[in-house]
Amino acid sequence: MADETEPEPTEEKKKGGKKGLIIGLLGALLLGGGGFYATYAGMILGPAAAPSNHGESDLPPLPEIAFIALDPMVISLGSAASSKFLRFSAQLDVDPASEEAVQMMLPRIVDVLNTYLRAVSEDELGKPAALERLRAQMLRRIQVVTEQGQVKDLLITEFVLG
């Protein structure tokens, strides 16, 4: 009876250990994902919901904005260009207090844009980053023509080579 040895673990015990580990890992992932979602969605640790006052929102009010639409422009690109014209239209994002003053300056703004776009080569217009660069150049020229802070942005609504 002294020769008793411990029985070797069978394959079933080894499989059961791996199976339990996998189930434990899956459970931890599911609980972690559920906790993340609940926190992200504001279900837990989020701000307490205040009772609604007949549809009023807790969001801060949007700032006042004003847009001035520029008339569409068709700019000739010259006889050597493969595209014969550029059709361009945009809107100006202006300070609401300056809307009337900017409206009065529209002829100068259109002149500056027309002059600048006429001077741009067709090769420059075809580059991938051209629109962003042209937008920045045009906005700067508009801001020079108008007073400081009147025009906040230039929003290009149409830019078609034809």
Alpha-carbon distance 120 to 136, whole Å?
Answer: 14
DSSP state letters, 59-95? SPPPPP-EEEEPPPEEEE--TTSSS-EEEEEEEEEE-
> How does pLDDT run across 61-85, given as a tens digit for each residue?
888 889 999 999 999 887 776 778 8
Domain count within the chain: 2
State whether 33 and 72 are in the same domain.
Answer: no
Q: Is residue 53 part of a domain?
A: no
Residue 130 lies in a domain: yes
Same domain flag for 133 and 86:
yes
85 with 33, same domain? no
Same domain, residue pair 90 and 123: yes
16 and 81 part of one domain: no
Question: In this structure, are 123 and 88 located in the same domain?
Answer: yes
* Whether residue 109 is found in the same domain as residue 140: yes
Residues 35 and 91 in one domain: no
Claim to verify: residue 28 and residue 94 sit in the same structural domain = no
Same domain, 23 and 99: no
| Structural contact between residues 71 and 120, judged by C-beta atoms closer than 8 angstroms | no
Check the CA dihedral 93-144-88-127 and report its sign: negative
Q: Which domain covers residue 76, as residue numbers?
A: 66-161
Residues 129, 70, 79: CA angle, nearest 5 degrees? 60
Q: Is residue 54 part of a domain?
A: no
- Classify residue 3: in a domain, yes or no: no
Domain-embedded: residue 60: no
Classify residue 1: in a domain, yes or no: no
Same-domain check for residues 43 and 108: no
Q: Tens place of pLDDT for every residue, the chain, 162 residues?
A: 555 666 665 555 555 578 888 888 888 888 888 888 888 777 777 665 555 555 566 788 888 889 999 999 999 887 776 778 889 999 999 999 999 999 999 999 999 999 999 988 888 887 888 899 999 999 999 999 998 889 999 999 999 888
Q: Are residues 149 and 120 in the same domain?
A: yes
